[in-house]
Amino acid sequence: MVPNRPRAGEHAETTRLDQTPSGSSEFNAPGKIIAVAVNNTNTSIGLVENLSVTRANSVPSGSPDQVAKAAAELLDADPEMVLLASVNKAATLAIAEALRHETGMSVQQFGEDMPVPIAHTLPEPVTTGLDRFLVALGAFAVVGQACIVVDAGTALTCDFVDGQGVFHGGAIISGGQLMLEALANKAPALPKLQIADMPSPLEPFGKTTEHAMLLGAQAAARGAVRYLAERYAGFYEAYPQIIATGGDARLLFEDDDLVESIVPNLQLIGIGAARSKLIGKTDGDDDEG
């Protein structure tokens, strides 16, 4: 039995946090930045100040010029810098060069120019992607307590952060679109579908092949998160808050009573939180010296 697990109906209705709370002062730093998160399929770009993301956009990662133009549209806000995080090595160089050319600003990159300042319990060498660290950092900055963070994109990740903000790792699952593509590729009789075509809410039973596949993708994602949440809660001896983010979060989890919050652009929030922590650490080192 999961310790402190809420009974059915005790969860608050899933909320969409478009305006994130200010969080701890640890994560508040003056000035605006252009945050760029390069992922496997799409790249997110937004203007970040403290834990607030505005004017966010998403373009294909294979289109560096579009990424750079989206970033350049934010220059009227007088940002201090461009911060880039990438898990797509093939796209990173071209995007970084396009950003420098289009914005006229230097581009600082996590993993190359600076670390992601989050404590973890992972063995060396650490192989976890920067996206998971940043999403975890962003989630902890927003809620300020232990949490399970679900990032629903090409892959679906489900990670645990304890009450001290320490990242413990988690699981990587096929994302909803990837599930649908795998079925169509390996079973020729099944149609090719887009996860974006999923109706909301889905009926209890899939009455057509298309709806059965969409229901299966949603059920697989939700079932995985429930199973993992029970594992993590058993370790933590409490039931952490569950937050979802990512391009497919709404489609997969919007009416799921297990997920308390859907937070858009959590990776961009994590970039802002990382910058704030790094600035605070530098200031603290200077004071001590």
Name, in order, each residue with C-beta under 8 angstroms of 155's C-beta and a sequence gap of 6 or more: 40, 172, 173, 174, 175, 178
Active site residue 131: yes
Say which amino acid occupies 218. Q
| Bridge partner list, 35 | 46, 83
Catalytic residue among 18, 78, 131, 286: 131
Asked if residue 60 has a cis previous peptide bond (ω within 30° of 0), the answer is no
Name, in order, each residue with C-beta under 8 angstroms of 72's C-beta and a sequence gap of 6 or more: 102, 103
Q: How many CB atoms lie within 10 A of CB 181?
A: 16
| C-alpha closest to that of 141 among 281, 280, 276 | 276
Alpha-carbon span 272 to 141, nearest angstrom: 10
Whether residue 98 contacts residue 64, with contact meaning beta carbons closer than 8 Å, is answered with yes
- Rg of the chain over CA atoms, in angstroms? 19
In the block, tokens 């990662």 appear at 61
Alpha-carbon span 219 to 88, nearest angstrom: 28
Q: How many CB atoms lie within 10 A of CB 229?
A: 21
| C-alpha closest to that of 160 among 136, 134, 131 | 136
Whether residue 64 contacts residue 93, with contact meaning beta carbons closer than 8 Å, is answered with no
| Phi, psi values for residue 213, rounded to 5° | -65, -45
Q: Hey, what are 164's tokens?
A: 């001290």
Enumerate the active-site residues.
131
